[in-house]
Structure 1
Amino acid sequence: MSIERERPRILFATDFSPWAAQAEAYALCLASTWRASLTAVNVLEFQPGMNPEYEVNRLFLAELMKGATQELADLKSRVAARGISLHTRIATGIPSEEILGAARAEDSDLIVVGTKGKTGLAHVLLGSTAERVIRTAPCPVLAVRAEPSDQAGKDSHPCAGVGLHRVLVPVDFSDCSLEALEYAALLAQRSGSSLSLLHVLEPVSYGLDFTLSLERKRGEMRERLTQRLAGFVEALAGAKITADSHVRGGLPADSILDSARTLPADVIVMGTHGRRGLSHALSGSVTEAVLRQSRCPVLTVRSPKFAAGHRRVIPVS
Structure 2
Amino acid sequence: MVATTPSASTMPGCILIATDGSDDCAGAIRTGIALAHSRGARLIGLSIALDNPEYNTLVPNLHEVAEARARAALQSFIDEAGASAEATTRRSADPADGVVAAADELSADLIVMAESDKNILTRMMVGDTTAKVIGRTARPVLVVPRSAHIWDKRILLATDGSPHSEAAAELAGHFARQAGLPVSVVSVVTSSHSDARRKEAERAVAAAMEHLTGQGLQAEGQMAEGRPDEAIVKAAESAGADLIVVGSHGRTGLTKILLGSVAERVIGHAACPVLVVKA
TM-score, normalising length: structure 2: 0.83
Instruction: Note if contact 1:170-1:269 (Cα within 8 Å) is conserved in structure 2.
Output: yes
Q: SS of the residue aligned with 2:223?
A: strand
State the one-letter code of the partner of 2:229.
A
Identity %: 28
CA displacement at 1:184 relative to structure 2: 1.1
C-alpha distance after superposition, 1:248-271 (max 9, x if no partner): 111111111211222222111111
Structure-2 residue corresponding to 1:30: 35
- Provide the residue aligned with 2:238 in structure 1: 262
In 1, distance between residues paired with 2:165 and 2:271? 21
The alignment yields a C-alpha RMSD, in angstroms, of 3.3
Other-structure match for 1:287: 263
Secondary structure at 2:240's aligned position in 1? coil
CA radius of gyration, larger in: 1
Q: CA 1:90–1:254 in 2, change beyond 3 Å: closer, same or farther?
A: same
Q: Is 1:141 aligned to 2:120, yes or no?
A: no
1:69 to 71, 90, 97: 71
> Which piece of structure 1 moves more, 2-11 or 176-185?
2-11
1:296 aligns with 2:275: no
Q: In the superposition, relative to structure 1, how do residues 280 and 16 fare at CA in structure 2: closer, same or farther (>3 Å)?
A: closer
Alignment of 1:91-106 (within 5 A): 91-93=90-92, 94-106=94-106
SS at match of 2:9: coil
What is aligned with 1:90? 89
Describe the SS at the equivalent of 2:74.
Answer: helix
Q: How has the CA–CA distance of structure 1 residues 223 and 3 changed in structure 2, closer, same or farther, with 3 Å as cutoff?
A: closer
**Is 1:46 the equivalent of 2:51?**
yes
Corresponding position of 2:3: none
CA distance in 2 between partners of 1:7 and 1:176 (Å): 18
C-alpha displacement of 1:45: 2.3
Quote the offset at 1:95 in angstroms.
0.8
CA distance in 1: counterparts of 2:198 and 2:278, whole angstroms: 27
Q: Deviations over 1:62-99 (max 9, x none)?
A: 24433443553553343127xxx211111122210100
Q: Pick the aligned partner of 2:81 from 66, 79, 82.
A: 79
Within 2, Cα distance between the matches of 1:263 and 1:183? 19
Q: How does 1:1-317 map to 2 (within 5 A)?
A: 2-5=7-10, 8-51=13-56, 54=58, 56-58=59-61, 60-72=62-74, 75-80=77-82, 85-93=84-92, 94-116=94-116, 118=118, 128-147=128-147, 161-204=149-192, 225-226=201-202, 229-273=205-249, 275=254, 285-303=261-279
How far did 1:224 drift?
7.9
Q: For residue 285 of structure 1, what is the amino acid of its counterpart?
A: S
Query: Which deviates the most, 100-109 or 161-170?
Result: 161-170
Letter in 1 for 2:140: P
Say if 1:269 and 1:300, in contact at 8 Å, map to a contact too. yes
User: CA, structure 1 residues 74+223, in 2 after alignment: closer, same or farther (shift >3 Å)?
Assistant: closer
| CA–CA distance in structure 2, aligned partners of residues 295 and 74 of structure 1 | 22
The 3-state SS of whatever aligns with 1:50 is helix
Q: Is residue 26–residue 146 contact of structure 2 (8 Å, CA) maintained in 1?
A: no
Contact 1:146 1:296 in 2 (8 A): no
Of stretches 163-172 and 11-20 in structure 1, the one that deviates more from structure 2 is 163-172
- Say if 1:201 and 1:122 are closer, same or farther in 2 by CA, change over 3 A: closer
Letter in structure 1 aligned against 2:144: V
Q: Is the 8 A contact 2:144 2:274 kept in 1?
A: yes
Q: Helix, strand or coil: the match of 2:21?
A: coil
Aligned 8 A contact 2:49 2:69 in 1: no
Per the alignment, in what secondary structure is the counterpart of residue 192 of structure 2? coil
Q: Which structure 1 segments of 5+ residues have no match?
A: 149-160, 206-216, 304-317
Change in Cα spacing, 1:121 to 1:7, as seen in structure 2 (3 Å) is closer
CA distance in 2, matches of 1:162, 1:203: 35
- Shift of the 21–7 alpha-carbon distance from structure 1 to 2, 3 Å rule, reads closer
The one-letter amino acid paired with 1:268 is I
Tell me: CA distance 1:39–1:197, structure 2 relative to 1, closer, same or farther (3 Å).
same
Shift of 1:191: 2.5
- Equivalent AA in structure 2 for residue 96 of structure 1: A
Q: Is the 8 A contact 1:114 1:130 kept in 2?
A: yes
